[in-house]
């Protein structure tokens, strides 16, 4: 059901069979289940704006068990949509690219656009908005957070670069640092920062209008400094849109992709060489 408010193509309270996911994230909860969250909206008519109604997050939950046990279509339950505009009355309708970090038993969800906002939950099912943390020009969006060397590092995209900020408590964040930009035309969407074997890997997905609205061209860069990928050459190209890179219980690595190669969110195992 579309929770509203009405848009040009969609009506509040009406059931729509086909929904479109976009930027997302996947984590295991304290309940022993894997959870997926991300932008979603009903599939728009052919002549409508492709991102119309991106005002909430989907929430899908696996049965209890390991990720590997439930890597199949139909195993995950579609839960009620989260944080529609009615639950965020003081915010703009748009809801972009949620990313979740657990700290001291509390889940912190970061989302945008334009302002980096926070919602919190104790169980991943019920969320309370806590307001804006910081803002920045350039359409700030697509946060990704890692914990490294006693602090959190958040990377995100704001024209014309990928930026990073740091925090020790997930509430107070440093000034932004420009960590990567390129002469290549387009937007550097969905950045992901991974720390592995004393190196840092930056994944991002290009959008330049030449490969559809769900562009699947992801580039990977490597640096020994998480705050400086300037001048680096890409070490890999991967076919994934709005990728997330994460580990399961066994320490195996995975990469996920929205709307490619199939409608929904797809997951593949990722190998490092």
| Predicted confidence (pLDDT) per residue in 195-212, tens digit | 999 999 999 999 999 999
Biggest CA–CA distance in the chain, Å, is 51
Give me the residue label for tokens 């949620």. 98
| Cβ partners under 8 Å of residue 125, min gap 6 | 59, 79
Are the beta carbons of 67 and 82 closer than 8 angstroms? no
Q: How much is the pLDDT for 131? A: 96
Distance CA 54, CA 74 (A): 24
pLDDT of 28 over the 90 cut: yes
Please compute the mean of the pLDDT values over residues 51-80 and round it to a whole number: 93
- Residues 131-163 have pLDDT tens digits of 999 999 988 999 999 999 999 999 999 999 999
- Residues 68-92 have pLDDT tens digits of 999 987 889 999 999 999 999 999 9
Which band of pLDDT confidence, cut at 50, 70 and 90, is reported for residue 99? very high
Distance CA 111, CA 117 (A): 5
In this prediction the pTM is: 0.96
Distance CA 193, CA 202 (A): 5
Which band of pLDDT confidence, cut at 50, 70 and 90, is reported for residue 10? very high
Domains of the chain: 19-270 (2.115.10.20)
Q: How much is the pLDDT for 157? A: 98
3-class SS at 240? coil
Mean predicted lDDT score pLDDT of the chain: 96
Angle at 140 between CA 231 and CA 44, to 5 degrees: 115
Q: How much is the pLDDT for 111? A: 98
């Amino acid at each position: 059901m579309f929770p509203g408010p009405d848009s040009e193509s969609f009506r509040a309270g009406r059931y729509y069979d086909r929904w479109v996911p976009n930027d997302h994230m996947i984590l295991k909860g304290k309940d022993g289940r894997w959870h997926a969250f991300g932008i979603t909206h009903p599939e728009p008519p052919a002549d409508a704006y492709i991102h119309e109604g991106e005002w909430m997050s989907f929430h899908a939950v696996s049965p209890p068990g390991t990720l590997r046990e439930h890597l199949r279509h139909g195993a995950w339950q579609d839960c009620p949509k989260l944080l529609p505009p009615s639950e965020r009355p003081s915010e703009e309708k748009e809801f972009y690219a949620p990313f979740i970090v657990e700290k001291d038993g509390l889940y912190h969800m970061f989302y945008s656009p334009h302002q980096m906002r926070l919602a919190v939950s104790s169980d991943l099912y019920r969320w309370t908005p806590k307001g804006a943390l910081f803002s920045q020009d350039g359409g700030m969006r697509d946060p990704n957070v890692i914990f490294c060397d006693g602090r959190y590092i958040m990377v995100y995209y704001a024209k014309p670069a990928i930026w990073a900020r740091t925090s020790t408590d997930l509430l107070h964040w440093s000034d932004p640092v420009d960590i990567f930009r390129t002469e290549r035309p387009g937007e550097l969407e969905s950045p992901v920062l991974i720390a592995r074997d004393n190196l840092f890997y930056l994944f991002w997905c290009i959008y330049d209008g030449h490969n559809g609205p769900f562009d699947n061209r992801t580039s990977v860069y490597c640096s020994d400094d998480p705050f400086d990928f300037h001048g680096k050459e890409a070490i890999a190209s991967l076919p994934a849109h709005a990728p997330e890179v994460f580990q399961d219980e066994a320490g195996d690595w995975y990469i996920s992709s929205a709307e490619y190669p199939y409608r929904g969110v797809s997951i593949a195992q990722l190998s490092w060489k």
